Amino acid sequence: MRLGILTSGGDCAGLNAVIRAVTLRAVHGYGFEVYGLHEATHGLLQRPVAATLLSPDSVKGILHQGGTILRTTNRGNPFAYPGPDGSTRDRSQEIVEGYRELGLDALIGVGGDGSLAILRRLARQGGWNLVGIPKTIDNDLGHTEQSVGFSSAVTVATEALDRLHVTAASHNRVMVLEVMGRDAGHIALTAGIAGGADVILIPEIQHAMDKVCAKIEERRRSGRNFSLVVVAESVRSDGVTRTYTDAHGQSRYGGIGQAIAQEIAGCTGAETRVTVLGHVQRGGSPVPLDRVIASAFGVAAVDLVAQKRFDRVVGWRARQVIDVPLDEACAAFKAVDPGDPLVRTARGLGIAFGD
Ligand code: F6P
């Protein structure tokens, strides 16, 4: 059996732990050959296919390393592949043939919702045997309680709040921390509780600025002359999200932290400062929970391949690895439920959502 593995979409901490676990389980457990495909599906476009034979030796020492030794991309959708002149064309058939060219019997794809949906489409087109592993700092895949990378991102955001806390208190400032999460507020909510935020703004709970400012004033009246505000990147202000267009013409979230800070300064007179955490949340060493989940997912995904149970994605529920059909995983976007126990916890602590 020749097994391929690729990492696709935005990177996160824990991808190397997945690659290591897949390799160890495949080689030691089943005697499979494992090929690591370079840069998501881009490796399958090249001839010869760009891939490296992985072995227990070659994955030594990568468990704790951030990033992905296979590299990745969140650009270059095979069905609308961008050309140098800005036009797009369908290159899916070349990628599908790359799988055959390398003689793969199965592929493990590590990705978020977008990548898994693309891989599923390619698998259908090419008759690939595919198993998925969920990774995304956004934690927005509905079939799993945790995706690889989420806990590490939350840890970075929490550490940032710990640091902001002392400088906010020293200067009597309102510190606004803008965190990632794309269309979901999981990072903001979880780190906000863990880091002792006073206000958490997430896209799932509509805020009003007068309520945000009232919370800051209330703290002042009680003698606490500083506040910590966590804002998820896709929060709306005046009904619109803050985005910018990057050099490749792609729209990206960014700027809501600054907008919220200005409004707070305007209505409270407080001195405000903004920190945009950005890709710091994706890099660095994975925290232990991400290493454990990544390892459990890697082992379970290879076991699914060995059992010839394809077209499935592993997930994490109640401290166990489960698996569900790819279709189900791709269809289930998970936003923060306003009735979520963590939202109740935050409210119980007196954290304001501005609603
Ligand atoms: O999906 C992961 C994520 O980090 C989001 O939280 C963020 O909006 C986006 O990717 C950033 O993408 P890029 O790496 O292309 O800037």
- Average pLDDT across each block of 10 residues of the chain; the chain has 355 residues. List them in order: 98 98 98 98 97 98 98 93 88 97 98 97 98 98 98 98 98 98 98 98 98 98 97 95 89 96 97 98 98 98 98 97 96 96 98 98
Under 8 Å between Cβ of 10 and 74: yes
With 0-12 / 13-18 / 19 or more C-beta atoms within 10 angstroms meaning exposed / middle / buried, residue 292 is middle
Pair of tokens at residue 171: 């200067």
Quote the CA–CA distance of 251 and 284 in Å, as a whole number: 26
Kind plus residue range of the DSSP H or E element containing 33: strand 33-37
The pLDDT value recorded for residue 182 is: 97
Which among 40, 129, 152 has a CA at the least distance from the CA of 91? 40
Q: Is 114 annotated as a binding residue?
A: yes
The pLDDT value recorded for residue 250 is: 86
Q: Which residue has the tokens 């939350």?
A: 154
Q: Is 173 annotated as a binding residue?
A: yes
Q: Which residue has the tokens 């055959």?
A: 100
The pLDDT value recorded for residue 222 is: 97
The pLDDT value recorded for residue 29 is: 98
The pLDDT value recorded for residue 248 is: 80
Q: Which residue has the tokens 């978020």?
A: 112
Other Cβ atoms within 10 Å of 332 Cβ, number: 15
252 lines ligand 1 (CB under 6 A): yes
The pLDDT value recorded for residue 90 is: 97
Quote the CA–CA distance of 125 and 119 in Å, as a whole number: 10
Which among 172, 263, 257 has a CA at the least distance from the CA of 214? 263
Quote the CA–CA distance of 76 and 53 in Å, as a whole number: 24
Going by alpha carbons, the residue nearest to atom 9 of ligand 1 is 182
pTM exceeds 0.95 for this model: yes
Pocket test for ligand 1, best of 72, 115, 137, 141 (most atoms within 8 A of CB): 137
The pLDDT value recorded for residue 46 is: 97
74 lines ligand 1 (CB under 6 A): yes
The pLDDT value recorded for residue 19 is: 99
Domains of the chain: 2-148+286-317 (3.40.50.450), 153-282+338-348 (3.40.50.460)
Would you name the residues annotated as active-site residues?
138
The pLDDT value recorded for residue 325 is: 98
* Closest ligand 1 atom to 180 CA: 6
48 alpha carbon – ligand 1 mean position (Å): 30
Q: Is 336 annotated as a binding residue?
A: no
The pLDDT value recorded for residue 86 is: 80
Other Cβ atoms within 10 Å of 224 Cβ, number: 14
Q: Which residue has the tokens 């910590």?
A: 228
10 lines ligand 1 (CB under 6 A): yes
10 alpha carbon – ligand 1 mean position (Å): 6
